[in-house]
């Protein structure tokens, strides 16, 4: 890692901050305006993005002052996005039934139940949605699938910035990547 590449932290941190806040905003909009409550894995994915927002915010406040700290923030963003990619990828696999999800998170078969059991179940608080159901998809990809792709792209950006591959032009706010 080259200390001279610490100036990459600011544009990458801004990008991470905006992308993760946008993903969180979209998830909350689907929940509150679209009527799609999150499953437990969806909530875990949100947590990963809140971590990214916190790291990016700290990088924006302190990262420009210390080059070694800047590199640590880039590494932390990379790890956070890799974690988000893993969680979202796992969730996508559960939705497509490539592997089993957590026992507390998958839909099961309804066996024979009595009327008393059904009435007792109605008096219980509502359960969270199952993680193996896809409540919304666009072009065959669920929200978890889009999250996995976006998080992977952001992990790639953070990784490239960490090793100093992108060359950002200062001054005019333009970004140019040289190979």
CATH 1.20.1550.10 fits 3-101+130-170, yes or no: yes
Predicted confidence (pLDDT) per residue in 145-173, tens digit: 999 999 999 999 999 888 876 554 333 44
- At 66, list the tokens: 């210390």
Cα(167)–Cα(155) distance, integer angstroms: 17
Predicted confidence (pLDDT) per residue in 76-98, tens digit: 999 999 999 999 999 999 999 89
Name the pLDDT band for 2 (thresholds 50, 70, 90).
very low
How far CA 47 is from CA of 15, 55, 116, 164, in Å, comes to 18, 12, 38, 28
- What is the number of residues in the chain? 179
Percent of the chain with pLDDT over 70: 74
Domain ranges for the chain, please list them. 3-101+130-170
pLDDT score at 170: 36
- At 12, list the tokens: 């990458």
């Amino acid at each position: 890692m080259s200390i001279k590449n610490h100036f990459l932290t600011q544009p990458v941190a801004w990008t991470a901050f905006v992308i993760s806040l946008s993903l969180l905003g979209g998830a909350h909009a689907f929940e509150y305006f679209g009527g799609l409550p999150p499953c437990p894995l969806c909530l875990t994915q949100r947590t990963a993005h809140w971590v990214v927002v916190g790291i990016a915010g700290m990088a924006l406040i302190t990262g420009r002052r210390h080059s070694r700290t800047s590199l640590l923030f880039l590494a932390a963003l990379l790890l956070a996005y890799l974690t988000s990619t893993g969680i979202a990828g796992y969730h996508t696999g559960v939705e497509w039934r490539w592997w089993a999800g957590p026992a507390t998170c998958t839909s099961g078969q309804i066996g024979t139940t009595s009327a008393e059991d059904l009435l007792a179940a109605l008096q219980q608080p509502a359960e969270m949605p199952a993680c193996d159901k896809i409540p919304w998809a666009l072009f065959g990809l669920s929200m978890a699938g889009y999250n996995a792709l976006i998080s992977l792209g952001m992990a790639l950006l953070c990784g490239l910035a960490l090793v100093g591959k992108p060359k950002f032009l200062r001054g005019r706010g333009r970004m140019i990547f040289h190979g």
